[in-house]
Amino acid sequence: NAGVMQNPRHLVRRRGQEARLRCSPMKGHSHVYWYRQLPEEGLKFMVYLQKENIIDESGMPKERFSAEFPKEGPSILRIQQVVRGDSAAYFCASSRTGSTEAFFGQGTRLTVV
């Protein structure tokens, strides 16, 4: 089992560009969670998805951010028109139905220049 895979590991975008972060959950896991970690800060919940459904997006900024978890393929966190304040590490985690244990990916470090 390869674990939770995130790519890219590092992403540099200029202000105004779009950032796409990908997360492939562990095999057999159908729950995906995205977290944002600002430098020297904790993990902030953003969104919880199951296949083709957004279950809880209470942590997502109202504008420019969106997430999906299609029937096939990885979960995608999309940030449109990035700004410097979006620079952070974005972690996804996955869990399987009936389990509360979440496994984290290695994160994508987004730098907006």
Q: Which stretches of the chain bind other proteins, using CB under 8 A?
A: 31, 33, 35, 41-45, 48, 55-56, 58, 91, 93, 95, 97-107
Shortest distance, CB of residue 57 to other proteins, whole angstroms?
Answer: 10
Shortest distance, CB of residue 16 to other proteins, whole angstroms?
Answer: 28
In three-state secondary structure terms, 85 is helix
Contact indicator for 104, 97 with CB cutoff of 8 Å:
no
Assign 3-state DSSP to the chain and report helix, strand, coil percentages, each to 5.
5, 50, 50
Shortest distance, CB of residue 70 to other proteins, whole angstroms?
Answer: 20
